[in-house]
Amino acid sequence: MLYVKELYKSYEAGKNKYEVLKGIDFHVAKGEFVAVMGPSGSGKTTLLNCISCYIPFDKGNIRLGGMELAGMKEDALARVRNTKIGFVFQDFMLLDGLTVRENILVPRIVQGEVEEEAEKLADQLAAMFGISHILNKYPAEISGGEKQRAAVARSLINSPLIILADEPTGNLDSKSSRAVIETFNNAKEQMDATIFMVTHDSFAASFCDRVILMKDGVIYRQLEKGEDRSLFQDQLLEAIKEMSAQ
């Protein structure tokens, strides 16, 4: 589904050049729920932004559903973002002037006319994520957890190949965090969605099938979940501790 090969990305600040990604290699299979963890500055968010084509990368390859993203023209990239990728931001990024239902439908609106089928799908997603009662409300009128669930619904409205989520629980309390993670799990189980999530939260990561640990722009280690989620969380914490010690 997603193949990332030898990915490099650097930033320039004044005369200094900072290498953030130093040859990243990994892949994500269809229907897989993968998390990326690592300390601040390890390059997690930059990696996510490169995959989502929000920022250009220096060199390497990103293949999504068989399409090579490097070198794509702006219009084609926009199409990829609209139809192949669903994105969930840490701070929700809902449009304040639109209702929750309209926000969920924005990726369809961007495509063209909104058909009845899309409206039905929006309602189904809302029902699936427990936000049907707020569909006609505006973002300012709902809680953070509800906003994020609306954002997840939005990310799924075009049935993308992959959902990219940048710290989706970062701004939420534990109850809302759990609700959002369950939303992802529902999407994975009921819609066979592929999810790639950046997180600091080992609890959220413990729901994933696999966790990629990053440090200083390279992949430090990958861990796969067994049967027991709680055990997986302990393994993650141990691995993070070990990585921090080095």
Partner 1 sequence: MNQIKNMKQMEEKLHRADRKQSRLYLFCNFMALMIISAYSALMLSPTVQRVFPKGGDSRKQMYMIFVMTLVGCVVFTIYALGLFFRHKSGQLGILMALGASRRRLAPGLFREVITLSGVSAIAGTAAGFPLVWMIWHGFRLLLVDSSDMILTFDFRCLFISLLFLLLVVGAACLTAWRYLKRTNIMEVIREEHINEPVKELGRWCGPVGMLLILSGAVLGYGAPLACTAWFCVYRVPEWVSVLYAPVFVGLYMVMLHTVVHGWKSHRKNPYKHIISRSMMKFQGKQTVNNLLVITLLIAGGCFAVFYLPTNGISAMFRYASQPYDYFYKYQADQDVPDKETVEALGRKYALTFQDWKECDYVTLGIGGDHDVSEEDGIHFHTEYTPMLSEAKVLSEDAYRTLTGQEVDVVPGTYLHLENQEESSLYTNESAREFTNMVTREQLDVQFAGYLHYDLLVEDIVCCVLDNEDYARISEGLTDDWRGHYVEFNVDGRDSYQFANAFYHLFVSSFDETCERPGYYDRVQKIRENEAGVEYWADTDDFVIISYELADSFMFRSFWVYQPNFRILDQNDYLRNMSVMFMMFFFIFIVCMITALVVCYTRCQSIALNNRYIFDDLQKLGALPAFLDQEVRSQCSNVFKVPSLVGMSAMFLLFAMILYANDGRILRTEWAAMGICLGIMVLFGGVIYAVYRASVKTIKRQLGV
Look at the block and give the residue holding tokens 């990332």: 4
Q: Are 8 and 55 in contact (CB under 8 A)?
A: no
Within 10 A of 38 (CB to CB), how many other CB atoms are there? Answer: 25
* Strand ranges in 14-123 using DSSP code E only, listed in sequence order: 16-28, 33-37, 59-64, 67-68, 85-88
The smaller minimum CB distance to partner 1, of residues 136 and 190, is found at: 136
Helices and strands in the chain, H and E counts:
8, 10
Q: Which of residues 148-177 bind partner 1 (CB under 8 A)?
A: 154, 158
Taking CB under 8 A as the criterion, the residue among 6, 29, 56, 216 binding partner 1 is 56
The smaller minimum CB distance to partner 1, of residues 93 and 243, is found at: 93
Tokens encoding 117: 């089928």
- Cα separation, 66 vs 110, in Å, equals 24
Taking CB under 8 A as the criterion, the residue among 33, 34, 52, 152 binding partner 1 is 52
With H, G, I as helix, E, B as strand and everything else as coil, classify residue 167.
coil
The smaller minimum CB distance to partner 1, of residues 61 and 83, is found at: 83
Q: Are 103 and 125 in contact (CB under 8 A)?
A: no
The piece of 12-20, 85-93, 176-184, 190-198 that touches partner 1 (CB under 8 A) is 85-93
- Per CB under 8 A, does 107 bind partner 1? yes
The smaller minimum CB distance to partner 1, of residues 94 and 213, is found at: 94
The piece of 21-29, 98-106, 174-182, 223-231 that touches partner 1 (CB under 8 A) is 98-106
The piece of 1-9, 36-44, 112-120, 233-241 that touches partner 1 (CB under 8 A) is 112-120
Taking CB under 8 A as the criterion, the residue among 12, 17, 113, 117 binding partner 1 is 113
- Per CB under 8 A, does 66 bind partner 1? no
- Cα separation, 21 vs 18, in Å, equals 9
Look at the block and give the residue holding tokens 């729901």: 207
- Per CB under 8 A, does 70 bind partner 1? no
* Strand ranges in 109-217 using DSSP code E only, listed in sequence order: 162-166, 195-198, 210-215
- Per CB under 8 A, does 202 bind partner 1? no
Q: Are strands 195-198 and 162-166 parallel, antiparallel or unpaired?
A: parallel
Name the site residues for partner 1 (rule: CB under 8 A).
49, 52-56, 74-75, 78-83, 85, 87, 89, 93-99, 101-102, 105-107, 109-114, 119, 136, 154, 158
